[in-house]
Amino acid sequence: MAKGIVKKTFLAPLGKDNPVFVQVLGICSTLAVTNKLENTLVMTLGVMFTTALSSWTLSLMRSWIPSRIRMMVETLVIATYVILVDIALKAFYPEMWKQLGPYVGLIITNCIVMGRIEAFALQNKPGLSLIDGLASGLGYAYVLMIIAFFRELLGTGSLWGYPILGSWWTNWSIMIMPPGGFFMLAIFIWVVREVVLKEAKK
Amino acid sequence: MKQSGFYAKRIYPLVFMFLVTTVCILITSGIFLATEDRVRENELLFLRTAVLSAAGASLGTDTSQIASLYLSSVTENEGFYIVRVGSGPERYVIPFKGAGLWGEISLMVGFEADLTTLSGVAIVSQNETPGLGARIEEPWFTAQFAGKKGPFRIVEEGTADASDEVDAITGATRTSESFQNIMNRAASESRSIIRGL
Amino acid sequence: MNEALFPVAVFFAAIFTNNILLTNYLGMCSFLSVSKELETSAGLGIAVTFVMAITTALNWLVYRFILVPFSLEYLRFIVFIIVIAAFVQLIEMIIERYSEGLYFSLGIFLPLITVNCAILGASLFMVIREYDFITTFFFGLGSGLGWLLAILAMAGIRMRLKTAKIPKGLEGAGISLVIAGFMAMAFMGFSGMITI
């Protein structure tokens, strides 16, 4: 495997092929928990784990999968990894499990997981697919962490549960409510597209 | 040739699907069984933490401490718990349930010995909307009941100052009302549950 | 609150005050990509409503009568998604047979319904909230109608915006998210209206 391909595979989802701000995919399951940094970190780690390992597994099996039942096999593998995440959280991090509720299960329908498998893992070698899955998960994670950072900071005046801004700060309650998630994501996409992508084109 | 076509089209996908399904279920079942005891322990611990914090006990994060504190200070009765931490006052904790906006809200409500003043509230389970109703889990919300007497009135978030007023949660009117109803029921029924009156 | 009215309350809450799309962000992917045209949006919205109402009820039956008696609750993710996938496949075959127009306009979106988070979401919520059968059905139907309402409103607004001048970086997904944010605020305003 050429070193260049590995590097390119890893870097693309972090920048110019980012699943969130370029393709606007997969925000369904996680946006709802971005009102707290801690929840977001755990959720995005779950997504990263699922994307990387299901890409790897399906890439290993890719030449044996009958095309007619491809979607079913993919779903089954993804669901298995998600159940692992769910059980692990329930056993070792029960408070978080309670807070995330049904959202862990919704990683199954996260468009990024299935999207990377269809677009990449089924045509590439397992090792490279693992890197692609990991990088896509990472590209997804850092965007949502930035959103969560602003939502928690502006909405509650604290970060990771610790008060940061002090008593002079009036909480913007709207930020931790559902509309805040939409606005933050829109602003983020706007800024990135105006600034970063324009510079990249030059 | 015909036979192999039939095999590739009909039998092979079925066999493949069956194998994948079996492997997946075996893996998940294995992990589930391996963690089952731990999950049960966690649930017990969670319930015990809720009882203790409703009684206003200060809790460490060490899990073994919670278990021993619970065993040394809580007496389980039918329908309620009697809690006495160290040489502190005797308090009563009663489980209450009620309909929230989406599903059941289940609480542990703690009372001082007079059975009207609250020592604390702890949420056992709730399914309200994240970011809206689910904010009843936030410590400031449950903490505002401690030391007050029912019946309660909910007022706009951030404006409570009278002794029977509690802050509601903005954007979650129904959840706040449900919570208020459960608390008021708790306040009016506490005597009859504990004294059997 | 009257116990008998609980399903009705859940039904209206699922449509308005706690719209599955606008408060839980479920079903965003197809929402953003399909809401450009009013007609396609209506088609997809109706399909989602139909599939959601029926699969949520089906999954309730499966959960209650198969998974719980054998204590296999931890397999629910797999089982739910298989029930949904099988049902969507069935619907796809029926639509393909009887309505060519609808089949071509929805085309690639029907398989997307399987991975529409909102549909799996409704099934998972119904389990966690421990609804009975009637409530489950009303919840599924209400969530579907809420999704339909949101995507119709969005498509209507986006059609009007076609001629508007929008900053380059906000075009497409960006402006849709801003609209969705305002819609979410508007829908929160319903919360004072429903008091049963």
DSSP states of B73-131: HEEE-SS-EEE--TTS--EEEEEEEEE-SSSEEEEEEEE-TTSSBEEEEEEEE----TT
Residue C104 lies in a domain: yes
Q: Would you say residue B104 has pLDDT above 50?
A: yes
Nearest CB neighbour to A73, from listed B17, B35, B39 = B17
Closest-CA distance, B14 to chain A, in angstroms, reads 9
pLDDT tens per residue across span C93-142: 887 788 777 677 665 566 667 767 888 889 988 888 888 899 999 999 99
Q: What are phi and psi for residue C180, nearest 5 degrees?
A: -60, -40
Cα–Cα distance measured from residue A197 to residue B3, given in angstroms and rounded to the nearest whole number: 56
Query: How does DSSP classify residue B149?
Result: B
Amino acid at A56: W
Q: What average pLDDT does this structure show over B134-151?
A: 82
Supply angle C-alpha A89, A90, A96, rounded to 5: 60
Residue A51 lies in a domain: yes
C138 CB-contact burial (10 Å; exposed 0-12 / middle 13-18 / buried 19+):
buried
Q: Would you say residue C196 has pLDDT above 50?
A: no
Mean pLDDT of chain A: 85
pLDDT at position C1, please? Answer: 47
Cα–Cα distance measured from residue B170 to residue B168, given in angstroms and rounded to the nearest whole number: 6
Q: Regarding predicted confidence, which is higher, A28 or C127?
A: C127
CB contact under 8 A, B101 and C13: yes
Counted across chains A and B, CB pairs separated by less than 8 A come out at 72
Residue C2 lies in a domain: no
Q: What average pLDDT does this structure show over B118-133?
A: 80
Chain B environment of A98 (Cβ under 8 Å): 125
Q: What are phi and psi for residue B153, nearest 5 degrees?
A: -120, 130
Q: Regarding predicted confidence, which is higher, A6 or C53?
A: C53
Residue C15 lies in a domain: yes
* Structure-block tokens of residue A54: 């299901």
Amino acid at B16: F
Full residue range of the structural domain in which residue A105 is found: 22-201
Residue A1 lies in a domain: no
* Structure-block tokens of residue A182: 């939409």
Residue A99 lies in a domain: yes
Chain C environment of A109 (Cβ under 8 Å): 81, 115-117, 119-121
pLDDT at position B131, please? Answer: 67
Q: By three-state DSSP, how is residue C9 classified?
A: helix
Q: What are phi and psi for residue C195, nearest 5 degrees?
A: -130, 100
Other CB atoms within a 10 A radius of the CB of residue C153 amount to 18
| β-strands B165-167, B153-155 pairing | parallel
pLDDT tens per residue across span C137-161: 999 999 999 999 999 999 999 888 8
Nearest CB neighbour to C188, from listed B101, B102, B171 = B171
Closest-CA distance, C10 to chain B, in angstroms, reads 7
C66 touching chain A per CB within 8 A? no
Q: Hey, of B17, B66, B170, which one would you mutate to test binding to chain A, going by the most A CBs within 10 A of its CB?
A: B17
Q: Regarding predicted confidence, which is higher, C67 or B135?
A: C67
Cα–Cα distance measured from residue B73 to residue B52, given in angstroms and rounded to the nearest whole number: 9
Residue C193 lies in a domain: no
Cα–Cα distance measured from residue C145 to residue C150, given in angstroms and rounded to the nearest whole number: 9
CA dihedral B109, B136, C26, A119 (to 10 degrees): -90
Please name the residues between 97 and 116 in chain B that touch chain C, using a CB distance below 8 Å.
99, 101-104
Cα–Cα distance measured from residue A87 to residue A81, given in angstroms and rounded to the nearest whole number: 10
Mean pLDDT of chain C: 83
Q: What average pLDDT does this structure show over C169-192?
A: 84
HSE-up of A184 (CA within 13 Å, CB side)? 27
Q: Where are any strands of DSSP class E within B135-187?
A: 153-155, 165-167
Nearest CB neighbour to A82, from listed C77, C82, C128 = C77
Q: CB neighbours of B144 closer than 8 A, spacing ≥ 6?
A: B160, B166, B167
CB contact under 8 A, A79 and C184: no
Cα–Cα distance measured from residue B24 to residue B80, given in angstroms and rounded to the nearest whole number: 43
Chain C environment of A105 (Cβ under 8 Å): 76-77, 120, 124
* Structure-block tokens of residue C88: 């969507």
Chain A environment of B27 (Cβ under 8 Å): 80, 84
HSE-up of C43 (CA within 13 Å, CB side)? 19
Chains that touch A (3 or more CB pairs under 8 A): B, C
pLDDT at position B141, please? Answer: 85
Other CB atoms within a 10 A radius of the CB of residue A2 amount to 7
Q: How many domains does chain A have?
A: 1
pLDDT at position C2, please? Answer: 54
Amino acid at C194: I
Q: Would you say residue A1 has pLDDT above 70?
A: no
Helices (H), chain A: 3-11, 28-31, 37-61, 70-92, 94-100, 111-119, 126-156, 173-176, 178-191, 197-201
Full residue range of the structural domain in which residue C154 is found: 9-188
CB contact under 8 A, A91 and B38: yes
pLDDT tens per residue across span C61-102: 999 999 988 888 888 888 898 898 888 888 788 877 887 776
Cα–Cα distance measured from residue B107 to residue B136, given in angstroms and rounded to the nearest whole number: 11
Q: What are phi and psi for residue A71, nearest 5 degrees?
A: -60, -40
Q: What are phi and psi for residue A159, nearest 5 degrees?
A: -130, 135
Mean pLDDT of chain B: 81
Q: Would you say residue B30 has pLDDT above 80?
A: yes
Cα–Cα distance measured from residue A70 to residue A58, given in angstroms and rounded to the nearest whole number: 10
* Structure-block tokens of residue A59: 């890439």
% of chain A at pLDDT higher than 90 = 24
pLDDT at position A159, please? Answer: 86
HSE-up of C27 (CA within 13 Å, CB side)? 32
Judge contact between A102 and C128, C-beta under 8 A. yes
Closest to C30 (Cα-Cα) out of C130, C127, C110, C145 = C110
* Structure-block tokens of residue C103: 């089949």
Model confidence at C194, in pLDDT bands (50, 70, 90)?
low
Closest to C116 (Cα-Cα) out of B79, A99, A109 = A109
pLDDT at position B148, please? Answer: 80
Q: How many domains does chain C have?
A: 1
